[in-house]
Amino acid sequence: MNEVERIAEEVVRRLRGEQQIRAVSSGTIPVVVSVRHVHASRSVIDRLFGEGFELTKERDLGQPGEYASGQTVTIVGRSMKAVEGVRIVGPIRTYTQVELSRTDCIRLGLEPPLRRSGDLAGTEPITLVGPAGSVYLKEGAIRAIRHIHMTERDAQIWGVRDGDIVRVRFPGARALLMENVLVRVSDSYALELHLDTDDANAADVRPPASVEIVK
């Protein structure tokens, strides 16, 4: 990493920290729109990119330690139609899953369930294609349940617990009350609401955006 890249990353970290502080003080939660992406295990990375291949970091994401890698794959569903340029999110995981929107699923001919990350039993099959090979997953395609990451302190402020299901209110010209939002609590998290592109479009989200929990 050169000096310019190091300074740029430090600026991003500081801005993200300031956003978190503003969010807590204003009683709102930052919104992140999550485009289709892949979390991949070591064995899958080896098959897609070659034995021992290491992901490269393109940019940090909001959750500590997570990043958009420089690597993308093509995904193929039952319809035999493909979606190219699907980003792998690092770091390497112990499991492999593909997170899709409902619109993505229509193109791919899939009906994946709404799940939290890592809950893959009974999910949809999908094929990943990389520069060194392909991988067929018998399970792994999901639509991620809309969810809020927060720390224990955030949970105390909002009066919620890990696993709670809440509603959130989006302000603006297309104001929307969104239900069935999962609360995920850990001190390794940063405060963020994660939506897929379909949910974000329904609420006319234009980052930077924020919401509040409605009880």
Largest CA distance in the chain: 51
Q: Which of 16-25, 82-91, 128-137 is predicted with the least confidence, judged by mean pLDDT? A: 16-25
> Confidence band (pLDDT; 50, 70, 90) for 10?
low
Q: Are 57 and 8 in contact (CB under 8 A)?
A: no
Q: What is the mean pLDDT of residues 52-66?
A: 97
Answer yes or no: is pLDDT of 127 > 90.
yes
Mean confidence (pLDDT) of the chain:
90
Q: How far apart are the first and last CA of the chain?
A: 46
Answer yes or no: is pLDDT of 62 > 50.
yes
Please give the Cα distance from 75 to 129 (Å, whole number).
Answer: 6
Answer yes or no: is pLDDT of 56 > 70.
yes
> What is the reported pTM?
0.84
Q: What is the mean pLDDT of residues 19-39?
A: 75
HSE-up of residue 60 (Cα within 13 Å, Cβ side):
17
The burial of 44, by beta-carbon neighbours within 10 Å (0-12 exposed, 13-18 middle, 19 or more buried), is given as: buried
* DSSP bridge partners of 29: 211
> Confidence band (pLDDT; 50, 70, 90) for 7?
low
- The pLDDT value recorded for residue 26 is 47
* DSSP bridge partners of 34: 196
Q: Is 2.40.40.20 the CATH number for 3-33+146-214?
A: yes
- Give the pair of three-digit tokens for residue 122: 């009974």
- Give the pair of three-digit tokens for residue 29: 């939660």
137-164 residue pLDDT tens: 999 999 999 999 999 999 999 999 999 9
- The pLDDT value recorded for residue 3 is 57
Share of the chain above pLDDT 90, in %: 83
3-state secondary structure of 122: coil
| Residue entry with tokens 């993308």 | 72
78-110 residue pLDDT tens: 999 999 999 999 999 999 999 999 999 999 999
